[in-house]
Amino acid sequence: MKRDAIVRLYDDDYAAKYEQEFLLAPLVRSDTEAELALLGKLLTPGTTWLDVACGTGFFLRHFPQVERAGIDLSPAMLKLARQGNEEVPLLQRDFRDPFPEWNDRWGLTSCMWYAYGLVDTIDDMQRLIENLWAWTAPSGTCFVPLADPRLITGVDLPYQAPTHNAGKVMITGIMWSYVEDDGRKTHSHMLAPNIEFMAEQFERYFDHVEVVRYPAPFPGWAGRPAVIATRKKPR
């Protein structure tokens, strides 16, 4: 999505309802708890943390003992993020833009709740992944929860589909929209690459890439996946 469309979508009213709807509601609460537990493990004493697309600062707020920073595009989300994170630098920045001042700076970098899919092209997504890599310290960790096209569609999409042609057919991912309020609020044409494709993108930048799964929120459901990437490759 274009910058102005994201700022319009994440306006004051949307920001005010965001945490209740997407982090605290019964359907999502166990994922939020799994993420807080994972962050707690990754934030060992002395680890610094940059949360990219930090939204309302909900996750940052839970770890006051940690040196933290956040960036987001939406002034409305950042306004809420500043509450309870008074000491935390929170900058209005686009995650696609380089920021060399932060290269090798952060022990943990994260980008949560599918924010990486709010781009128009795979090139833009790769720009974000390259920035996450750049901003992660050489001994640091990058944590990115993944939007799983198989969970979104309920269809067991293959990464490689059979074909009679000589070439390989790769199902790179899906494009999807989240339509609310009769279309007045729409996350338009988000990208959700297949998990295998996402792991490959991180493997370009990190020697160790693990895909973990959260506990299933309900019996019969699959847990959401997340990438945990370590051993940053040198420039």
- Report the interface residues with ligand SAM, using CB under 6 A: 6, 10, 23, 53-55, 58, 71-74, 77, 94-96, 112-115, 118
What is the dihedral sign for C-alpha 174, 132, 35, 159? positive
**Using an 8 Å Cβ cutoff, are 152 and 135 in contact?**
no
Using the minimum distance from each CB to ligand SAM, give the nearer residue, 8 or 150.
8
**Using an 8 Å Cβ cutoff, are 174 and 192 in contact?**
yes
Q: CB of 105: closest distance to ligand SAM in angstroms? A: 17
Q: CB of 115: closest distance to ligand SAM in angstroms? A: 4
Using the minimum distance from each CB to ligand SAM, give the nearer residue, 8 or 196.
8
The closest alpha carbon to 69, from 96, 108, 32, belongs to 108
221 SS3 class: coil
Token code pair at residue 232: 């940053």
177 phi/psi in degrees, rounded to 5: -125, 150
What is the dihedral sign for C-alpha 93, 96, 98, 101? positive
Using the minimum distance from each CB to ligand SAM, give the nearer residue, 53 or 174.
53
Q: CB of 113: closest distance to ligand SAM in angstroms? A: 3
Using the minimum distance from each CB to ligand SAM, give the nearer residue, 61 or 159.
61
**Using an 8 Å Cβ cutoff, are 133 and 142 in contact?**
yes
- In angstroms, the CA 87 to CA 80 distance is 14
State the residue for tokens 């993420």: 35
Q: CB of 168: closest distance to ligand SAM in angstroms? A: 31
Residue nearest to ligand SAM (CB): 55
Q: CB of 24: closest distance to ligand SAM in angstroms? A: 11
Using the minimum distance from each CB to ligand SAM, give the nearer residue, 40 or 158.
40
